[in-house]
A and B are shown apart, each in its own frame.
Chain A
Amino acid sequence: VQLVESGGGLVQPGKSLKLSCSASGFTFSSYGMHWIRQAPGKGLDWVAYISSSSGTVYADAVKGRFTISRDNAKNTLYLQLNSLKSEDTAIYYCARSTLMDAWGQGASVTVSS
């Protein structure tokens, strides 16, 4: 089982970014997937969830700004981050299922002017 995030970087406040999480070693389409973030020096913070049937749930802090999606043909999970704020600066992890039994290495997002 492997999860590999990409797409992080430095972005100005108000701008957008799209993160990807490439999955391998398991039947991606059968699993719900999460995005979790960790601000510098802080703890873990759940961001969003997408079920195997593509139902979605968001944390209040990102609702209306972030969009989670998946492409089962490409075994890839996405997180579209819009209207970014400085408080969105964090490492963003994708994780498999509500067990959280597999995590990616993380993608760093820095929101700064």
Chain B
Amino acid sequence: DVVLTQTPPTLSATIGQSVSISCRSSQSLLDSDGDTYLNWLLQRPGQSPQLLIYSVSNLESGVPNRFSGSGSETDFTLKISGVEAEDLGVYYCMQATHAPLTFGGGTKLELK
């Protein structure tokens, strides 16, 4: 199975600070169809996860553009340019290139 390693496990930030989360894959996530099926999800406290970014860098509809994704093959990054209070929660990367679908261990974003 593909292992996704997220760092850091916990991130403390002040409002307005820019932060980045890394997701590294044990295998290339470039599919034979040319797409890379790496998504980012946010789970706010007490809520279900929600999709933020799909296929590495595509912003889901309704998601603020302070969120951005980048990367390729095995190395991916989620950046939040100016953290807001509503951004607090646990961020997960997930891959759907290789079966079975797998998730990273999560990065908890807290207020400093």
- A residues 45-75 touching B (CB-CB < 8 Å): 45-46, 49, 57, 59-60
> Given the interface contacts A99-B39, A101-B54, does A44 sit within 8 Å of B94 by beta carbon?
yes
Contact B54 A43 (CB under 8 A): no
Cβ contacts under 8 Å, B101 to chain A: 34, 46, 49, 98
Annotate B37-58 by CB proximity to A: 1 below 8 A, 0 otherwise.
Answer: 1010101000011110010000
- In angstroms, Cα B107 to Cα A88, docked, is 23
Contact A101 B106 (CB under 8 A): no
- Cross-interface CB contact of A44 among B37, B49, B96, B100, cutoff 8 Å: B49
A105 at the interface (CB under 8 A from B): yes
Interface size class of A (residues with CB under 8 A): 10 to 19
Chain B interface SS verdict (over half): strand
- In angstroms, Cα B104 to Cα A60, docked, is 18
- Cross-interface CB contact of A101 among B48, B60, B96, B102, cutoff 8 Å: B60
- In angstroms, Cα B39 to Cα A60, docked, is 23
A28 at the interface (CB under 8 A from B): no
Contact A103 B105 (CB under 8 A): no
Cβ contacts under 8 Å, A46 to chain B: 100-103
- Cross-interface CB contact of B103 among A43, A98, A99, A105, cutoff 8 Å: A43
- In angstroms, Cα B103 to Cα A59, docked, is 13
- Cross-interface CB contact of B48 among A49, A57, A59, A93, cutoff 8 Å: A93
Contact A100 B49 (CB under 8 A): yes
Residue among A93, A103, A105, A106 having the largest count of chain B Cβ atoms under 10 Å: A103
Residues of B within 8 A of A (CB): 37, 39, 41, 43, 48-51, 54, 60, 90, 92, 94, 96, 99-106
16 extra A-B contacts, CB within 8 A, seeds A44-B92, A46-B103, A100-B39:
A34-B101, A43-B92, A44-B41, A44-B49, A44-B103, A46-B101, A57-B100, A60-B100, A98-B96, A99-B39, A99-B51, A99-B54, A100-B49, A100-B51, A103-B48, A105-B48
Show 12 residue pairs from A and B whose CB-CB distance is below 8 angstroms, ordered by the A residue: A43-B103, A43-B105, A44-B41, A44-B49, A44-B94, A49-B101, A93-B48, A93-B49, A95-B49, A101-B54, A101-B60, A104-B48
